[in-house]
Structure 1
Amino acid sequence: MDIKISVVLPVYNVADYLRKCLDSLVNQTFKDFEVICVNDGSTDLSLGILEGYALTDSRFKIISQENQGLSGARNTGIEHVQGEYVLFVDSDDWLEKNALELLYEHVKGFNSEITMFKFKFFNNDTSEISESPFTNLEVIDPSLYTGNFSYYDVLDIIFKISHAPFNKLYKTSFLRDLDAKFLHGSYYEDLEFFYKVFLKAKKVSVLSEYLYYYRIRDDSISTSGDEGSFDIFNILESTNQNLIDANIFEEVKQEWLMFIIVNLKFVYLRLNDKYKDKFINTMKEKYEDYELNNVVLNENWHYEDKAFYLTILDAENYREFNLMFEKNSYEILAKHYEILSNEYKKQIDELTAENNYLKEKFNGSITNRFKKIVKS
């Protein structure tokens, strides 16, 4: 079989969700693909489930290894890829049944190194399906959908594009030429991998279709708040260097500084309390290294991000930080609503004055016409 697409599937203790993922692959309308299942030291029934599918479908290949984490499992998968293109799928998620067919038809026409597509969130607790500007790629101008583009065409939104690896099809030769790997043993490796690869791509395209469902569950790595969360600092430093190497740092500097704050806030708010003092101190240590002293606050900043930034240097511990963060948030909101209220008042006053003018003019006209009728 001529393998067109290799699906890299890291698997670690997901027995409750794995069959739905595997079924979505078995039932693909496109047939010329392989699934590289990397059993990353699972201790539940995951391996047995994989073996059952591999027995009946030769496209499923199992590689078992001691636990190396998500990045390590993906890297193992990359080493065994035989297809022209690579798709990363998380083992608790699933694909639309025509996903691979649509992707291959698209990429053969565009010859892209990276193809992005839309996805939706699935809430594991409520079964609610949702989307956002992050998942539906609406930040990318539709005019770019008709051909390939590069990072330089989207500098204004470069930090608003989804950096998830699972909603992108990669050309295998492109990844191998870069020797692209996920940062081993690190959290937030998706962020580092995306910018490392995206900033090297000359041909990026968008397939404007929803092809993937991303499961949100409380026990996933992305929602944990343990000591591994400190990896965000290394990830940001590495990405900062990638921007410098691409000669775009100065052009995107203010957007990048805001992106740093957004990510630090994201991690801090999910962090276990026992690590928060250390996290605050680390933010202070990195403050000048990240050039956060050069931040220019403007209306593009969300009020919470602005409040978080203003709190970093002033708080001594996490309890003080939390109180000051809340206080700054309320003050920024209050000022915003005060400005908004004054603007509305100004508009109301202008409309009232205009209305009085028209009323006086209209009534005067009627009175004059009435006098003329009486005289005649």
Structure 2
Amino acid sequence: MRRVPTKMLKPGMRVGRSVINANEHVLLAAGTLLTETFITRLQKLNIPSIYVDDGFLPDMQFEDVISEKVRYKAMQQTKKVFNDFHYTKSLVGLDKIATIVDEIIDELLNSKNIMVNLVDIRSNDEYTFGHCVNTCILSMITAIRLGYSPNRLRLLAIGAILHDLGKTLIPPEVLNKPGKLTAEEYNIVQKHSEYGFELLCQNTQFENASRLVVLHHHERYNGTGYPHGLAGNQIPQNSAIVGLADMYDALTADRVYRNAYLPHEAFEMLAASGDYLFEFDIVKAFLHHVAAYPMGSLVKLNTGEIAVVVENRPGFSLRPKLRILFLANNKPCTSQREIDLAEVNNLTITQVLNDTIELDLLKSKHIKINLV
């Protein structure tokens, strides 16, 4: 299974993972064969990419860190809170937000090996809601690694899932501008953290720890963040965790103004940010559970062999388990040969291949491979 940009989809490809919107409506079920009509519909819905099943890993299960039911329930409730406030200027449904946060916490705490292997797919129109839920989940995974208690985890999670609430007060034409923001527009967008903080201060349901997450999630370790230019230990740890999770999810998402960065590119950016943009221990805890090369990634080794990632484990984000597909001479590997990079020292990943282009190139050389 691999993620393919909607503009590169072709009739006959098989949907690998159901496409579901924030209202829990299944737009395309897993296993559906794509037609021109389906592809056109996905494009009109502003869905930038989907997962397709290309036959590489028929025996592997791609699992999210939380259940699909809980994820979309969280998206639906977040969407309702944001939309209701946008139209009524009152915060309602906050008790349901707290309930869904508890469900996410329960699932994560009961998971034995949490590993972020999938990039969430959502339409550009529903980016904010999916982003808030993803940021919440990634923040909790990091905090669990850092040893947070369930109560402390809950306060973090509530702030995380509402961290962009203030964007409901930003003019849509500025927030959704496809091009580069002017200095004035950027200053307007920066106000969202203060707006969100002020909104939560008006409601007695929130504790200060959750409010401060919203206020300070754009502060940076080196003092270059906003709104107060805090630095180092001045930044609450909860806010720093959410800031890191927020940045990773934004980098790996397709936006109207740019394509998503590949997971290994975002991984490298964050790995270089320790004690610069974020405290090193927080970066280390975050990357412990995030795969640099998610399952299904097509990679090239220093031997010239081409392989697909079949497994990732916590703590070995850069050393996944691989299945060899092609030998160094581009001939298909006839035996099912797997290599665990965590157990060998002489093999390294030198390149992440552009799945669609590179596989088309291999096919053009008359090498047969079961793609779809």
Normalising by structure 2, what TM-score?
Answer: 0.26
Larger radius of gyration: 1
**If each structure's strand is expressed as a fraction of its own residues, which one has the higher value?**
1
Normalising by structure 1, what TM-score?
Answer: 0.26
